[in-house]
Amino acid sequence: MIVVERALPVWIVAALLLVALMALPLGWLAWVSVSSERGATLAHYAAVFTDPRLQRALWTTLVMAAWVGLVAVALGAPLGWLTARTDLPGKAVIRSLVLASFVTPPFLGAFAWIMLAGPNAGLLNRLWRALTGADAPLVNIFSLPGLVFVIALYTFPYVYVMIANTLALIASDLEEAAAVLGAGRVRVALTVTLPMVLPAILSGFILAVLQALALFGSPAMLAMPAGFHTVTTQIWAFFQYPPRPEMAAAFSIPLLLATALLLQLQKLVLGRRGFATVGGRGAQRRPIPLGPWKYPALAAVLALMACAIVLPYGVLARAAFARAWAQPLGWENLTLANWTFTFLEYSATRGAVLNTLELGVTTATVGAALAALLAYIANRRLLPGHQALAFLALAPVVIPGVVLAVGLFLAYTRPPLVLYGTLWILFVAYVTKEMPVGYSQADATFRGIHPELEEAARVLGAGRLRVLREITAPLARGGIIAAWCFIFIGVIRELSASIILFTPATRVMSVVIFDLKEEGQFGAIAVLGLTMLVMTFATVLAVQKFLGRDVLGARS
């Protein structure tokens, strides 16, 4: 008992820290949204819900997110089934490409697709015109469908992961029984497999919708040129001069509610999965032969991967070495000037790369440590109310980055704690935003470590902290390092919160890329984008090493 009491302060401090991270910005957000110089008011909400332009932004965002969810399911679900259940060739390569799409910063994808599918200068549209002699473009990326398409390309992995992981756990005997009874492949898939994975599909759909709702970079690059806003870009626009943070706060609330509602829905869906077949690992799984569909299916999958990875990365690399991205890449258009400019002349590069690395390392370290501590407390039930702790650690999922940033901005631009203008405010934003990712990973890790070993050590007289240090920590190391890497990847690509919280002295790479985009500096963006991808993939390789499996989790 005495030993537990000595450790108690550690647990309590961790818990308090978490509450402060969450409560302060959200409290300010709520307060500012209802306050004016003349006391409490609902005027900001009235404005939000009567201004037709804001209404349109809200409606556009909902439509856009719903479509992203549908397209992501249409892409991710068949792909998950194909890699988990069939004899599709090249599964390992496909999985790596899905992983690449998963970690690609969405704003880089959007930027690349401007070069691919701008209605007139886009390379694909020019090719289309040259081949067909058509006048109209094949795709106009500056449109709502264009936006949906590009966002879906980088959110379908969420659906894929849900499907592939679920299918990997379901035995194939039911499907085989149906096949023996004479059902065709399509019929088996539709009447047997589909009902079993329906909860996973719904869940993936909701995850994709959540991603779409929270994105800032893609709509800023694709929607604003076409003259329409989404909720995130509108909130950001409220910060232009003269800034109206109270409107930003009031407009944040619908977004917050939508996310919270969707997550609740997801919980409901996942909570209902009652099929006895799910969870039976070890059962036989025989791949379904695709027969004549093998190569058409492969072609479709490769086409998707070309859209998500090959073409965008290719066009980024091309722009990085071109004087003018829209011109043919002959010798006279080939240059290293973008690289020398970005790394030798552009004075923002050095600071931004250093800030990004510094924030990435500190956030990942503190975040992973905090997540590990909290997951440990929750798993071993060390504090009364440990369930609340788990809830709080996962709660930031409902807060879109822009909304979190508005809250933090309101909380930390005034005394006593003026963090605005320092890296600290970004650090706080990142730790909060990445906590759910770190916590889930740490939680899974501790679930996998049986308490028996710890109990043995306790019996032999070791204190809780010593057990943690000498028994649990070494066992959990791989999982916690993976949590570190996940957080690190999340931080270096973060744009939606940073864009509101940065100052010229605290720019990070994503913000610099956005700055460059506003001036149309395609070459420098391509160079910084490729640099960011290299940093990301180096980290992904590290995860795989420490985790012994790939980031997406499922084995085929």
Partner 1 sequence: MRRSNAGSWSSSAPERAARRRALVALLLAVPAALPLGTAPGAAAQDRLAEGRREGRVVWYTPTALSTAERLARLFEQGHPGIKVDVHRSGAERIFQRLLQEAAAGIRNCDVLDTADAGHVVLLKRRGMLARYAPAGAERFPPAFRDPDGVAYGWRAFPVVIPYNPRLVPAAEAPRTWKDLLDPKWRGRLVTAHPGYAGSVLTQVLVLANRYGWEYWRQLAQQKPMLVQSVHDPSQVVSSGERPVGVNGAEYFLYAQRKKGHPVEIVYPEDGMPLIVVPAAVLAGAPHPAAARLFLDFLFSRPVQQHLAAEEGLYVPHPDVAYPPDKPRLGDLRLLPVDAEELERRHEEVKRRFVELFGA
Which residues contribute to the site for partner 1 (CB under 8 A)?
53, 118-122, 126, 130, 142, 223-229, 233, 237, 239-243, 323-328, 330, 332-333, 341, 345-348, 351, 413-414, 418, 420-421, 503-505, 515-516, 518-522
For partner 1, give the closer residue by CB, 267 or 350. 350
For partner 1, give the closer residue by CB, 342 or 441. 342
For partner 1, give the closer residue by CB, 154 or 239. 239
What angle, 0 to 180 degrees and rounded to 10, lies between the N-to-C axes of helices 144-153 and 52-85?
40
**In angstroms, what is the minimal distance from the CB of 109 to partner 1?**
19
**In angstroms, what is the minimal distance from the CB of 528 to partner 1?**
13
For partner 1, give the closer residue by CB, 346 or 427. 346
Distance CA 217, CA 173 (A): 45
Tokens of 555: 């084995």
**In angstroms, what is the minimal distance from the CB of 105 to partner 1?**
20
Distance CA 485, CA 288 (A): 35
Closest listed residue to residue 108, CA positions, set 520, 521, 514: 514
For partner 1, give the closer residue by CB, 166 or 233. 233
For partner 1, give the closer residue by CB, 226 or 475. 226
Dihedral in degrees, nearest 10, Cα atoms 191, 193, 194, 198: 130
H-run or E-run covering 363? helix 347-380
For partner 1, give the closer residue by CB, 140 or 556. 140
CA 88 to mean position of chain CA atoms: 28
H-run or E-run covering 346? none
**In angstroms, what is the minimal distance from the CB of 345 to partner 1?**
5
**In angstroms, what is the minimal distance from the CB of 208 to partner 1?**
25
H-run or E-run covering 35? strand 35-36
Q: CB burial class (10 A; 0-12, 13-18, 19+) of residue 279?
A: exposed
**In angstroms, what is the minimal distance from the CB of 126 to partner 1?**
7
**In angstroms, what is the minimal distance from the CB of 421 to partner 1?**
4
Closest listed residue to residue 322, CA positions, set 527, 533, 518, 529: 527
Secondary structure of residue 483 in the 3-state scheme: helix
Tokens of 54: 């804001």
Closest listed residue to residue 162, CA positions, set 271, 84, 62: 84
**In angstroms, what is the minimal distance from the CB of 246 to partner 1?**
14
Q: How many CB atoms lie within 10 A of CB 473?
A: 13
For partner 1, give the closer residue by CB, 182 or 227. 227
Beta bridge partner(s), residue 36: 39
